[in-house]
Amino acid sequence: MKALQLVRFGSPDNAFELRELPEPRPGAGEVSIDVSASGLNFADVIARSGAYPDCPPLPCTLGYEVVGRIRELGAGVTGVTVGQRVIAFTRFGGYASCVVTKAAAAVPIPDALSDGAAAALATQGATAWFMAEDTLRLHAGEHVLVQAAAGGVGLILVQLAKARGCVVYGTASSPEKLDYLRSIGVDHPIQYTKVDFADAIREIQGTTRRGLDVVYDSLGGSYYTKARKLLCAGGRIVCFGAAAAAGEKKSLLKLLGLAWGFGLTSPIPWLMESKGFLGVNMLRISDEKPETLQRCLAGVVKFWASGQLKLHVGGEFPAEQVAEAHKALGGRGTMGKVILRWKE
């Protein structure tokens, strides 16, 4: 089989090598999958930079999800069949033409669902569902901020919040992305590269200054600190990334700046102000609570099937163009899901 292995940290131009590796065989409770497409996530960009603590030792194969067809069943596997089309979680290893994963992590999907849309429902869709339906409950009329709202997770969070009747603020980097956010119901699109998002929200709310009920923060650092100050009583902030520290190579200064931006914290102010902080790392959920991951995926697939979820594919690249795919995703030039194609 072919696999894109991360052989060195840094620029995408020389970080990966396409290698021929022995084809994996499934063990008990596992399946092997012939991959048609591998999904990219922003965590891959951070891992490539050398700043992701969960990244395996080099050389390694990145990738959290694949779309493809079941090739072989391991002992004791039921519920899926050889040749069946599935979306599957891989917990690394997804940048390959063939993968082995737990059978419980492979979910059948219809042929009508495109590879890009299917990949969007996996890691990003399950993450969004976990944050909007499992970790807290959104209520009609609540004011919700989604940072990087035009990203894969952000677009799904926006639509989940709108389905709950929330007033949604969404930040993005370009006018084109803001237009798309408006098209899916964002009430207040904010171009954070042009204006301070916190000042913009205060101006939008005017004299009411009601604040925010929920913040979904994938940026971290000073963005987190500014957003936290916008929370009203009973407000909750959910942190699921630190994209503010991302770059083409590992930077101690960026990491220190990120940590400084988060500031010192204590539970006492949260308690006195009746506010809440939640941190989300879906790798930990998949390791320790796989049933939760399955429930979230089933929930977001059902949400899509209901016709309420519009999925956007931001880029499809041949596997050999992994560097270009990483540049597009890391440079925030894409909107929605980005995939690598192994087969047409």
Residues 172 and 93 in one domain: no
**Please, what is the Cα angle at 310 between 35 and 148, to 5 degrees?**
90
Is the residue at 42 inside a domain? yes
Is the residue at 64 inside a domain? yes
Is the residue at 292 inside a domain? no
Is the residue at 227 inside a domain? yes
* CATH number of the domain that residue 210 is part of: 3.40.50.720
DSSP code of 57? S
Number of domains, the chain: 2
Residues 150 and 271 in one domain: yes
- What is the rounded CA–CA span in Å between residue 326 and residue 40? 8
Task: Kindly list the distances between the CA atom of residue 26 and the CA atoms of 2, 32, 292, in Å, as whole numbers in the listed order.
Answer: 17, 6, 23
Residues 174 and 234 in one domain: yes
Q: At what angle do helices 322-330 and 42-49 cross, to 10 degrees?
A: 100
- Residue-level pLDDT, tens digit, the chain, 344 residues: 999 999 999 999 999 999 999 999 999 999 999 999 999 998 899 999 998 888 999 999 999 999 999 999 999 999 899 999 999 989 899 999 999 999 988 888 889 899 999 999 988 999 999 999 999 999 999 999 999 999 999 999 999 999 999 999 999 999 999 999 999 999 999 999 999 999 999 999 998 889 999 999 999 888 999 999 999 999 999 999 765 445 555 555 454 554 545 555 667 776 778 899 999 988 888 888 888 988 898 899 899 989 999 999 989 999 999 999 999 998 877 888 999 999 75
Residues 204 and 232 in one domain: yes
Domain extent for 271: 136-279
pTM for the structure as a whole: 0.86
* CATH number of the domain that residue 84 is part of: 3.90.180.10
Residues 55 and 161 in one domain: no
Is the residue at 129 inside a domain? no
